[in-house]
Amino acid sequence: VEKNSMIDTWLKKHCLIYVGATRHPFILSIRDGTVNLSSFKTWLGQDYIFVRAFVSFVASVLIKAWKESDDSGGDMEVLLGGMAALNDEIQWFKNEASKWGVQLSDIVPQKANKDYCRFLESLMSSEVKYTVAITAFWAIEAVYQQSFAHCLEDGTNTPSDLQATCLRWGNDGFGQYCHSLKQIVNRQLAKASDDEIKEAEVALLDVLEHEVEFWNMSCGGA
Ligand code: HMH
């Protein structure tokens, strides 16, 4: 079905870091039920801050789509659907935080989070091409989709009070959405210049590294 998928080629080439991001010890600890709840709460509070930066990044990708892509692939609709989901997600974080006794107004972003948000901000520049930004966007969503779907497979020990979290990113609808993003990326890469393709590959690797650091930070507890 997916011939000439540049993304699949890259994921094979960068398999180790990709597995590092999508099968991180933090995710494996949710999956086998040994997760430390203070790590989970750290992740929850830090990710809320991340998502607020992420919404701004997605807005910037939408602007690039409007300027650079023709209307044929339905890119704007896919991105707008993603933004609608993020609106939901922010409310979900607030509810979840109050459930777990996490005070969101007190959260101080940790270094890995600040570094990741700064990276997003660098991609918001109008100098950065749509192809590069949408590649990063797909990767950011795909890591969470792959990670949390892994916790929902048969025979896993995911604690029942974390199932809803895993379903948020591990549900089939989110999987479909990531697939739509991936198709957009592959289509963009197929017509991109060599320089753009190189930049997009670097952006993918940057995302994977930031995701690993973000999980590491969560494991740190505190
Ligand atoms: C750190 N990566 C991080 N947080 C998220 N919420 C996502 C990806 C996906 O939305």
User: How far is the centre of ligand 1, averaged over its atoms, from the C-alpha of 154 (Å)?
Assistant: 24
211 is catalytic: yes
pLDDT digits (tens, 9 = 90+) for 170-211: 999 999 999 999 999 999 999 999 999 999 999 999 999 999
In sequence order, the 6+-apart residues with CB closer than 8 A to the CB of 105 are: none
99-134: per-residue pLDDT in tens?
A: 999 999 999 999 999 999 999 999 999 999 999 999
**Ligand 1 pocket, CB under 6 A:** 47, 50-51, 140-141, 143-144, 211, 214
From 24, 47, 55, 86, give the residue whose CB has the most ligand 1 atoms within 8 Å, as the site to mutate. Answer: 47
Specify the ligand 1 atom closest to the Cα of 211: 1
pLDDT attached to residue 73 = 78
> Does ipTM top 0.90?
yes
Where do the domains of the chain lie, and which CATH numbers do they carry?
A: 6-219 (1.20.910.10)
Please state, rounded to an integer, the average pLDDT across all residues of the chain: 95
Per-residue pLDDT of 22-67, as tens digits, reads 999 999 999 999 999 999 999 999 999 999 999 999 999 999 999 9
